[in-house]
Structure 1
Amino acid sequence: MSAAEPLGTVTVGPGVAFDQVSLTLGRTLILDHVSFNIRPGSVHALVGPNGGGKSSLIKTLLGQMPHQGRLCLSWPAEPGLIGYVPQALEFDRGLPMTVDDFMAAMCQRLPAFMGLSRKVAPAIGDALERVGMQDKRKRRMGALSGGERQRVLLAQGLIPSPQLLVLDEPMSALDEAGAQVFERLLADWRQSGVTVVWIEHDLAAVKRLAERVTGLNRRVLFDGPPEHTLSPDRLLSLFSTHPTVQGSAHS
């Protein structure tokens, strides 16, 4: 048990090892021999500039991108479920799709136009309650604010309960109340032993909430506890156009 792990927590999420992972699209080098480890049951943040390869890295983790090198998931028991919450939801806002319709489309096999199945309806209700959207289930998705749509995306990431959860800038559109909802969810996942891989631009939130952080700008510039890694000189190097690799911080 790590020092940051709550007493009594049983880890259900996997450890993740990136070993010399590289990715080239056309003639563009996206990832350059990326190596670092994500501890089982931890909240691990990825930070770095736009275009630095963060989203591409998690797409390799989700099996959506070809890559060179080795990527290994070490599950504590049988392989579990992987959840994914994208950065934004692209859809026609004129569609007469309610929150319930969206959740049905994302979380059940029964066609959404047939309504919520009795099998998943309780889970959907619980997920929407956890993100504070229970009272807006009949609202059209196109009528929601950006922060409210982000909450719905978080809710769909809860069904079925994942053991590995990948979050792509989940706080980007959230207001203060939504950010508090996200922090509560993060605490729940940590307590449940879920492994969380979290791309985030809000460095203050990362410093407060992540157990470990990796700085990525095509390659790993630092990796360690946020209180050790998020120093001004490291961040300056991370967000510069031509980064200089600094020594990794290890706990």
Structure 2
Amino acid sequence: MIIGPSIQLANVNLQYGPNQILSEITHQFDGGQCHVVMGPNGGGKTSLLRSILGLTPFRGQIDILWDESVNNGKAGTIGYVPQKAMFEQSLPLTVMDFILLNQTRSPLFWRQRQKDKQIALTQLDRVGMANRADRRMGQLSGGEQQRVLFAQALLDNPDLLVLDEPTTGMDEQGVRYLESLIHEFVNQGKTVLAVHHDVTAVRRLEAQVHVVNRVLVDSGDHSQVLVPEKIERLFNHYSQPAVSASNQSEVA
């Protein structure tokens, strides 16, 4: 039933000037599962996601391997929710405008079809934001904006959903909406790849956890990685030289 892609990384390195962000990461994220990347601030989590999406130059090889039996062998669709977005309060862009703009890729002054609006409302309802469709984006709280960004990412019914700290600024109700949708995606055989920092939330997602701190520090089921004797060391800032894949387990 797996329709979401697996993701293979081979010797991935990323450097900004003299700063080594990612070092010799070789790994695979299996398809049809929820994967959560964790680690300390500055450890390279977001850079890894952006590299996978092709938004950041890197050295090495990253392959998104789609199921050839789906979509006649063509690549599937990807939904992406960035960590946050800034919307000017005075900008007359409503929640509905934002969703329609991303849905139709057409100027907002074009006649809006009722079908497009209904699709937009359906996705907004999935994140509990249908009742705020007429509000300006700049008037929403940061957590509400994140919900709208999540709704936008759902428009193309993605087979791979990439989330960078999706619950930033979000209230408990919003967190529950998103967690429910993530479970729904995985149950459909799709692949979810997220950066997250909340250990309790990640346990609820029943995710595969991959700790990145310039190198891949540890990887496995949340029940194996997020244990008390490991957690403190997993989130310490990088202080050791890069290790080879064969020695990575020793770092954890």
Q: TM-score, normalised by structure 2?
A: 0.89
Work out the CA distance in 2 between the residues paired with 1:62 and 1:236. 30
Q: Does the aligned pair in 1 maintain the 2:126–2:151 contact within 8 Å?
A: yes
Judged with a 3 Å threshold, the aligned counterparts in structure 2 of structure 1 residues 62 and 76 are, in CA distance, closer, same or farther, namely: same
Amino acid at match of 2:159: Q
Of the three residues 20, 38, 50, the one matched with 1:29 is 20
State percent identity of aligned pairs. Answer: 39
Work out the CA distance in 1 between the residues paired with 2:197 and 2:111. 37
Work out the CA distance in 2 between the residues paired with 1:75 and 1:248. 29
Of the three residues 232, 235, 241, the one matched with 2:231 is 235
Judged with a 3 Å threshold, the aligned counterparts in structure 2 of structure 1 residues 174 and 60 are, in CA distance, closer, same or farther, namely: same
Work out the CA distance in 2 between the residues paired with 1:125 and 1:102. 12
Amino acid at match of 2:54: G
Instruction: State yes or no: 1:187 paired with 2:183.
Output: yes
Residue 136 of structure 1 and its aligned partner are, at CA, apart by 1.0
Of the three residues 112, 119, 140, the one matched with 1:144 is 140
**Uncovered stretches (5+) of structure 2, i.e. residues with no partner:** 69-73
Higher fraction of helix: 2
**Uncovered stretches (5+) of structure 1, i.e. residues with no partner:** 1-9
Judged with a 3 Å threshold, the aligned counterparts in structure 2 of structure 1 residues 243 and 107 are, in CA distance, closer, same or farther, namely: farther
- Residues 5-33 of structure 1 show CA distances to partners (whole Å, capped at 9, x for unaligned) of xxxxx221100011110011111101011
Residue 39 of structure 1 and its aligned partner are, at CA, apart by 0.9
Residue 215 of structure 1 and its aligned partner are, at CA, apart by 0.3
Amino acid at match of 2:174: G
Q: Does the aligned pair in 2 maintain the 1:217–1:243 contact within 8 Å?
A: no
Instruction: State yes or no: 1:76 paired with 2:55.
Output: no
Q: C-alpha root-mean-square deviation of aligned residues, in Å?
A: 1.8
Q: TM-score, normalised by structure 1?
A: 0.90
Amino acid at match of 1:63: G
Instruction: State yes or no: 1:45 paired with 2:41.
Output: no
Q: How many pairs align?
A: 240
Residue 232 of structure 1 and its aligned partner are, at CA, apart by 3.2
Amino acid at match of 1:228: Q
Residue range with higher mean Cα deviation, 142-151 or 220-229:
142-151
Amino acid at match of 2:180: R
Residue 115 of structure 1 and its aligned partner are, at CA, apart by 5.6
Instruction: State yes or no: 1:112 paired with 2:103.
Output: no
